[in-house]
Structure 1
Amino acid sequence: MNRVLGSAPAPLPQRILLQGKYEALTMIRNGEQLILAVVMPLLAMVGLKVTPLLDGLGSSRIDIAVPGVLALCAMSTAFTGQGIATGFDRRYGVLRFLSTTPLGRTGLIAGKILAVLAVLVLQVLVVGAVALILGWQPNPAGWLPGLALLVLGAAAFTALGLLVAGTVRPEATLAITNLLWILLGALGGIVLPVERQPALAQAIVHYLPSGALGQALRDAFLHGSLNGGAALILLLWTVLAGAAAIRWFKWN
């Protein structure tokens, strides 16, 4: 009878899948988020290719630049994009509505992570295709650890974005996520390796999710190796930020 009347909720995996599909389509149709997710990383990659910022770190500027740009894609979509979108969903009552459904906090966070991963696939395809045209030659052995670390980094940044969006006012979320995107992009070791960071920043960059992801992807695509320390740091950020978001996330 419950199934006939439609009163029984769908299984949790199906709820998460539907939420992830909705979130992904919303992100793809949003022009501002596409600029942040695709256009800005492409501009950063071209800029690093034609300027001497990476000279002295390897034989090819593009080989050094692309891993950091892929990491920037993950941060742009998972942290800034999801953080801002979730913050304004709170403001307009969307999250208050979701709180009355069987989706729940865990399902909402899982659905958003799934949406981020779907968009991240498109980012990797687009950025990777342009990078190959520009002469990128990744280490073949680095694809498996590189993509695994990219997924882990996206999970960490999604958890951080939801933590910010779920605990402060929407206007503050907009300011915080954009400010951190600029600071982490410039000084967080995500695009520019630690060797190119100011002396004061070098001491902490490795412990930031941006620095850990950027360095891990460079190790993977340049040398075909797995940076276990960076992976552990990303895992800790994912677990701690995810637990905090589930614990303190506010629906309104």
Structure 2
Amino acid sequence: MSTIFHDSPAGRPATLSQRIISHGKYEASTMLRNGEQLVLMAVMPLLGLLALVATPLLDDMGHSRVAIAAPGILALCALSTAFTGQGIATGFDRRYGVLRFLSTTPLGKGGLIAGKVIAVLVVLLLQMVFISTVAAFMGWRPPLSGILLGIPLLILGAAAFTAIGLLIAGTVRPEATLAITNLGWILLAAVGGIVLPAGKFSSSMEAYVQWLPSGALGNLMRAALIESRLDVWGLIILLAWGVLATVAALKWFKWN
């Protein structure tokens, strides 16, 4: 931890951007060295992709299995890394005094959140390459315009889920954070509209799912990577979740 702010010349204080980038590097390297998080970030999404392509669950959706599965699994990567991974890591950083140490530096709450977002984006890029490569071998051929649209939407989703994860990790006990983020991952992945389109559920449940950040991101990714279309309503919902969670995290996040 003592080496994460050494990017500025000797004798000069690091700028805010240098502090944020340094913290992002530290967070990313920590995530990539954690075996449990690697299982959550790589193995689980891969198994989900293989299961959706191998089973007839998506056969009645009007497109090939992999065309529908891949966008949802990429969205699941953002959920895994940004929400569950960062939530758990930050919760236990609070318990062991790491965040209290950071509170004595000029990083600040905003810098902490920004650095964690950078780390999430670095890991998410690796996940995108990995999952997209596997899906390509299965026959996935998304349109180029859809890819160009989907990348910033996935980044937005990662930022929103990072803020939600940090809000939970910064306001409740680490044990509660562990339970909430793990249970949240299971529920959102199964019935939150992120992996399976909301149309697979009953009409009454679909009405609720579309308001969730998971449902919004899943709809955005499928619209972009299948139809090269921007789901404006999904974008509004995801932006609202991201803004509200960020404001709440900045206001109520507790270092101790």
Scaled to the shorter chain, the TM-score interval is: over 0.9
For structure 2, the 5+ residue unaligned runs are: 1-7
For 1:59 and 1:199, the matched residues in 2 are separated by: 21
TM-score by length of 2: 0.95
Q: Percent identity?
A: 64
In structure 2, what is the equivalent of residue 251 of structure 1?
255
- What is the CA-CA distance between 1:226 and the residue it aligns to? 1.1
For 1:54 and 1:68, the matched residues in 2 are separated by: 12
Amino acid at match of 1:146: G
Residue 197 (structure 1) aligned with residue 201 (structure 2): yes
The 5 A counterparts of 1:88-237 are 88-237=92-241
Cα deviations across residues 121-144 of structure 1 (Å, max 9, x unaligned)?
000000000000011111221011
For 1:235 and 1:16, the matched residues in 2 are separated by: 23
For 1:71 and 1:198, the matched residues in 2 are separated by: 22
- What is the CA-CA distance between 1:234 and the residue it aligns to? 1.0
- What is the CA-CA distance between 1:200 and the residue it aligns to? 3.8
For 1:19 and 1:215, the matched residues in 2 are separated by: 32
Q: 4+ residue runs of structure 1 moved beyond 3 angstroms?
A: 3-6
Cα deviations across residues 45-101 of structure 1 (Å, max 9, x unaligned)?
000001111111023100000000000000000000000000000000000000000
Coordinate RMSD, CA, aligned: 1.3
For structure 1, the 5+ residue unaligned runs are: none
Query: CA contact under 8 A between 1:33 and 1:81: conserved in structure 2?
Result: yes
Compared CA separation, residues 5 and 117, structure 1 to 2 (3 A):
closer
In structure 2, what is the equivalent of residue 65 of structure 1?
69
Number of aligned pairs? 249
- What is the CA-CA distance between 1:199 and the residue it aligns to? 4.0
Amino acid at match of 2:122: A
- Identify which of 236, 241, 245 aligns with 2:245: 241
Amino acid at match of 1:87: G
The 5 A counterparts of 1:46-57 are 46-57=50-61
For 2:127 and 2:24, the matched residues in 1 are separated by: 17
Query: CA contact under 8 A between 1:187 and 1:201: conserved in structure 2?
Result: no
For 1:39 and 1:103, the matched residues in 2 are separated by: 33
Instruction: Tell me the secondary structure at the aligned position of residue 207 of structure 1.
Output: coil
TM-score by length of 1: 0.96
Query: CA contact under 8 A between 1:58 and 1:64: conserved in structure 2?
Result: no
For 1:32 and 1:82, the matched residues in 2 are separated by: 12
Instruction: Tell me the secondary structure at the aligned position of residue 168 of structure 1.
Output: coil
